């Protein structure tokens, strides 16, 4: 069977690529071994946020949580299935393997396409800790795929985005949660000030955090696990808990994807690509978590999908991939886009910053959001917005305004000249901008 484009993986990257490529009038075949929607919809972003939302409302009954999450996931999946039909995308259920240039095999059938886009995503990385494969040791996949794991006490290994979101989720359902982080603080890639603020809020939710630890082994059975580790002074410690969650990162899902002789250049299992997603093999593209040195986020995969689809169709890539906002769904939320003050300074740039506090914002006070801020990082001379960090309610929605400002090269003066409605949390953006304008 011959197609213009074959896409491997039906997550946010693959489905967006299929939609875009088909909209350019090209024929598409999309292979998916599991369910359409990929990690994001079936065992990632959407179920986590659905569970966090329900838990924040005080729902902790596992059956109700499962049902609410399943309703959201199936409604969204239905939408994707409809879209694939409307676009006349041929969806093949099964594990696909690239056997050569323009050739894909799936369940004994051979498919041919001029271009192939790999969108096979990522899987949780398990560190080499003895006992990490024991029953009672989970990954986010286990929690989100409907197993109904609800331990009353939980050790979380890894204080990154997944570790901290799950810490809040389980703490809100009444579990005792302890996070064990190898680095000297949680959320290592994020701004230090954000990490400090998150640690403070985590403490208020009853979450214990220990940094600079070295986890040595896990023993026991579900309901009675023991995690042995060296604390920051090197002293041996043991944590007793009902379950253990491993959240130490994710790696590209490329196992079995390429037949012998069909392999493109890889870097630690991830597919090496140029800034346009071209791999070392002609007409083989990669988007999303399977790409080496990428930001592993659904909206980054979608941005890459739109650009690769345009390149294949001979059009100009429409999306600025250099500017990817990141969000953490905590209480309050965290969002960041562009440069932090430290990053700008490290690049030798003179910057001016404005920071509006949640304590002076009416809507935050009404909602009792706790301490937080909206910070703007601008060029010291021109006041062009270079970055922004938000720790406040609805930060994940508000960051889009800042991404737009940076994309358009807007200044603090232009943000300050824009009326933000009252009372809203977005007023903090106007306030942060005014602080910069006044300081000049
Ligand atoms: P991560 O890379 O964000 O964090 C992993 C953490 O584990 C790091 O802090 C690291 O220092 C620590 N760690 C590694 N080995 C360890 C060990 N042996 N003992 C203790 N700590 C150890 O990875 P995470 O949280 O698993 O997330 C994976 C990917 O999924 C990330 O790229 C993340 O951005 C993405 N994601 C994004 C979400 C969002 O945008 N809201 C939500 C969930 C995931």
Find out whether the beta carbon of 215 lies less than 6 Å from any atom of ligand 1.
Answer: yes
396 Cα: distance to centroid of ligand 1 (angstroms): 18
C-alpha dihedral over 300, 306, 312, 318, to 10 degrees? -110
d(CA 265, CA 253): 15
From the CA of 247, give the closest atom in ligand 1.
26
Find out whether the beta carbon of 395 lies less than 6 Å from any atom of ligand 1.
Answer: no
124 Cα: distance to centroid of ligand 1 (angstroms): 9
d(CA 119, CA 7): 7
| Token pair recorded at residue 273 | 């690509």
Give the pairing of strands 266-267 and 270-271. Answer: antiparallel
295 Cα: distance to centroid of ligand 1 (angstroms): 12
Largest CA distance in the chain: 68
CB–CB of 392/358 below 8 Å? yes
What beta strand segments (E) does 278-414 contain?
A: 284-286, 326-328, 334-338, 351-357, 373-379, 385-391
CB–CB of 262/98 below 8 Å? yes
Helical residues (DSSP H) of 339-408, grouped into ranges: 341-346, 362-367, 395-407
From the CA of 162, give the closest atom in ligand 1.
25
How far separated are the first and last CA of the chain, in Å rounded?
A: 65
The share of the chain scoring above pLDDT 90, in percent, equals 89
pLDDT confidence of residue 147: 57
pLDDT confidence of residue 397: 97
Banded pLDDT at 169 (limits 50, 70, 90): very high
Look up tokens 């703007």; give the residue. 376
The share of the chain scoring above pLDDT 70, in percent, equals 99
With 0-12 / 13-18 / 19 or more C-beta atoms within 10 angstroms meaning exposed / middle / buried, residue 150 is middle
Backbone angles phi, psi at 410, to 5 degrees: -70, 160
Helix axes 45-56 and 161-172, enclosed angle (nearest 10): 30
> Is the pTM here over 0.85, yes or no?
yes
Backbone angles phi, psi at 34, to 5 degrees: -110, -115
pLDDT confidence of residue 68: 80
For the chain, counts of helices (H) and of strands (E): 13, 24
400 Cα: distance to centroid of ligand 1 (angstroms): 23
From the CA of 186, give the closest atom in ligand 1.
9
189 Cα: distance to centroid of ligand 1 (angstroms): 10
Banded pLDDT at 64 (limits 50, 70, 90): confident
pLDDT confidence of residue 146: 62
Average pLDDT, the chain: 95
Give the pairing of strands 96-100 and 103-106. Answer: antiparallel
- Quick: pLDDT tens for 255-278: 999 999 999 999 999 999 999 999
Find out whether the beta carbon of 181 lies less than 6 Å from any atom of ligand 1.
Answer: yes
* Domains along the sequence of the chain with CATH: 2-124+251-312 (3.50.50.60), 137-248 (3.50.50.60), 332-439 (3.30.390.30)
Residues with Cβ within 8 Å of residue 314, at least 6 apart in sequence: none
- Residues 85-90: what's their mean pLDDT? 97
Backbone angles phi, psi at 373, to 5 degrees: -165, 165
Banded pLDDT at 65 (limits 50, 70, 90): confident
Is the predicted pLDDT of residue 305 greater than 80, yes or no?
yes
pLDDT confidence of residue 380: 97
Is the predicted pLDDT of residue 440 greater than 70, yes or no?
no
Find out whether the beta carbon of 297 lies less than 6 Å from any atom of ligand 1.
Answer: yes
Hey, which of 130, 140, 213, 249 would you mutate to test ligand 1's pocket, going by the most ligand atoms within 8 Å of its Cβ? 249
Cβ neighbours of 362 (radius 10 Å): 12
405 Cα: distance to centroid of ligand 1 (angstroms): 29
Task: Give the DSSP letter of residue 297.
Answer: -
Find out whether the beta carbon of 229 lies less than 6 Å from any atom of ligand 1.
Answer: no
pLDDT confidence of residue 61: 80
Within 13 Å and on the Cβ side, how many CA atoms surround 194?
31
To which H or E segment does residue 47 belong?
Answer: helix 45-56
Hey, which of 124, 125, 139, 161 would you mutate to test ligand 1's pocket, going by the most ligand atoms within 8 Å of its Cβ? 161
CB–CB of 238/230 below 8 Å? no
Q: Whose CA is closest to 121, among 17, 221, 217?
A: 17
416 Cα: distance to centroid of ligand 1 (angstroms): 36
- Residues 41-65: what's their mean pLDDT? 86
Find out whether the beta carbon of 188 lies less than 6 Å from any atom of ligand 1.
Answer: yes
Hey, which of 124, 141, 156, 162 would you mutate to test ligand 1's pocket, going by the most ligand atoms within 8 Å of its Cβ? 162
Residues serving a catalytic function are 422
From the CA of 180, give the closest atom in ligand 1.
20
Q: Whose CA is closest to 169, among 269, 67, 62?
A: 62
Find out whether the beta carbon of 183 lies less than 6 Å from any atom of ligand 1.
Answer: yes
Within 13 Å and on the Cβ side, how many CA atoms surround 397?
6
- Residues 133-150: what's their mean pLDDT? 85
With 0-12 / 13-18 / 19 or more C-beta atoms within 10 angstroms meaning exposed / middle / buried, residue 162 is buried
Q: Is 72 helix (H, G, I), strand (E, B) or coil?
A: helix
Going by CA atoms, what residue is nearest to atom 3 of ligand 1? 160
- Residues 179-201: what's their mean pLDDT? 96
d(CA 194, CA 182): 18
- Residues 32-46: what's their mean pLDDT? 92
Going by CA atoms, what residue is nearest to atom 43 of ligand 1? 162
Helix axes 192-204 and 161-172, enclosed angle (nearest 10): 20
- Residues 272-300: what's their mean pLDDT? 97
């Amino acid at each position: 069977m011959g197609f213009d484009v074959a896409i491997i993986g039906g997550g946010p990257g693959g489905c967006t690529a299929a939609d875009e490529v088909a909209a350019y009038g090209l024929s598409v075949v999309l292979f998916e071994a599991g369910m359409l929607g990929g990690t994001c919809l079936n065992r990632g972003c959407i179920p986590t946020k659905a569970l966090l939302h329900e838990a924040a409302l005080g729902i902790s009954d596992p059956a109700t949580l499962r049902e609410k999450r399943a309703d959201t996931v199936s409604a969204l999946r239905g939408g994707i299935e409809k879209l694939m039909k409307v676009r006349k995308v041929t969806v093949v259920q099964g594990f696909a393997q690239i056997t050569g240039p323009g050739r894909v095999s799936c369940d004994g059938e051979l498919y041919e396409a001029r271009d192939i886009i790999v969108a096979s995503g990522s899987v949780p990385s398990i560190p080499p800790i003895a006992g990490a494969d024991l029953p009672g040791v989970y990954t986010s996949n286990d929690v989100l795929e409907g197993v109904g794991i609800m331990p009353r006490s939980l050790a979380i290994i890894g204080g990154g985005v997944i570790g901290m979101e799950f810490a809040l989720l389980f703490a809100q359902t009444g579990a005792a949660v302890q996070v064990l982080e190898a680095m000297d603080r949680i959320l290592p890639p994020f701004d230090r000030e954000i990490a400090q603020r998150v640690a403070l809020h985590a403490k208020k939710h009853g979450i214990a955090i220990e940094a600079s630890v070295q986890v040595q082994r896990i023993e026991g059975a579900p309901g009675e696990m023991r995690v042995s580790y060296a604390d920051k002074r090197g002293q041996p410690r043991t944590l007793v808990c009902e379950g253990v969650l491993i959240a130490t990162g994710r790696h590209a899902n490329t196992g079995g994807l390429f037949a012998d002789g069909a392999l493109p250049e890889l870097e630690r299992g991830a597919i090496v690509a140029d800034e346009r997603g071209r791999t070392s093999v002609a007409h083989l593209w990669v988007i999303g978590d399977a790409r080496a040195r990428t930001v592993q986020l659904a909206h980054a995969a979608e941005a890459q999908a739109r650009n690769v689809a345009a390149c294949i169709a001979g059009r100009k890539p429409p999306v600025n991939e250099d500017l990817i906002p990141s969000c953490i769904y905590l209480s309050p939320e965290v969002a960041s886009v562009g440069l932090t003050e430290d990053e700008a300074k490290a690049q030798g740039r003179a910057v001016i910053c404005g920071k509006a506090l949640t304590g002076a914002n009416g809507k935050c006070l009404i909602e009792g959001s706790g301490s937080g801020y909206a910070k703007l990082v601008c060029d010291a001379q021109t006041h062009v917005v270079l970055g922004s960090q938000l720790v406040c309610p609805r930060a994940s929605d508000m960051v889009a305004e800042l991404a737009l400002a940076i994309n358009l090269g807007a200044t603090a003066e232009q943000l300050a000249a824009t009326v933000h409605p009252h009372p809203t949390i977005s007023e903090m953006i106007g306030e942060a901008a005014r602080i910069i304008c006044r300081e000049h």
